[in-house]
Amino acid sequence: MFNRISIFTGNAHPKLAKDIAKYLGGKVSPALVSRFSDGEVRVKIEENVRGKDVFVVQPTSPPVNENLMELLIMIDALKRASARRITAVIPYFGYARQDRKDQPRVPITAKLVANLLTVAGADRVLTLDLHAGQIQGFFDIPLDHLYAINVFVEYFSKKKLKNNLVIVSPDVGGIKMARAYAKRLSAGLAIVDKRRNSPDSTSAIHILGEVEGKNCVLVDDIIATGSSLIEAAKALKRSGSKDIYAAVTHGILSKDAVKRIENSDIRQLVITDSVPLPPEKKSPKIKVVSVASLLGEAIKRIHEERSISILFEF
């Protein structure tokens, strides 16, 4: 396979790229991605990609602007090197929370990023658990949207919590995702009714659903400061819940999120490796599960022009 495809990566998450390449039975292709003396991104593709099916693995996680510029410039370099097709593999799509005008005079940055990727030369995008599903419609090129649900379902199935388990959405907007988890795990469903004080602060009001005496799993797509999940866990504890877990696809964990999680009612936070977890953010309370095989299988099927819908089945 690796005589027909190439997998490249910038500096955002080289380990994930290596794990994906290993799943596919190959190695990450060599590329120089560094900085000029004035801080500008320097890229040089160090193998022949003419006529190849190329995949660039680069989550646009913090530092978002640096990683996004690396991705755009790598795509441009590959386009100019006559790659047959370029797929931007973006496990975490940054700026996804700015997907609409919810206030006067604010941008729709998710659409801007979609335009930048297309203009740079990307022919296709592969991403994971977008914050807002409608972002798929911002692209004028094919976009494959994967879900980490099967990775989490497999993990929690092994914990044998099924008979006493409730899946909890930390807000009304996450009901659809929580319902999918509840169906796969044959569990109950509950919702935390909350109000947002600011972009980084929330206060939980009450629980819709039966959680007393139950083990609960909070499900969400992104954890940044952790305020939403921590407030939701407090509300669940007040309502008589037993052990509280959290399953979140993208563990951004900004500011003092790790410390707050350690001091919270959450017994374990399970995240994927869609973004790297720095050593200073590691904690006994945080478990990382890999999506390398999920992304690797999707890449294989895209290259072979096969359906990826089977990846949504369990």
Which candidate, 252, 256, 242, places its Cα nearest to that of 272?
252
Instruction: Write out the catalytic residue numbers.
Output: 194
pLDDT along the chain (314 residues), means of 10: 90 98 97 97 98 98 97 98 98 95 94 98 97 94 96 90 87 90 93 70 75 95 93 93 96 95 97 96 97 97 93 68
How far out from the chain centre does Cα 180 lie? 17
Can you tell me whether residue 55 is helix, strand or coil? Answer: strand
Which CATH class name applies to 5-147+293-312?
alpha beta
pLDDT of residue 173: 83
**What is the torsion angle, in degrees rounded to the nearest 10, for the CA atoms of residue 231, residue 237, residue 238 and residue 242?**
160
CATH fold of the domain at 149-289? Rossmann fold (3.40.50)
Which candidate, 155, 86, 95, 172, places its Cα nearest to that of 121?
86
pLDDT of residue 195: 66
Kindly list the domain boundaries of the chain, sorted by start residue.
5-147+293-312, 149-289
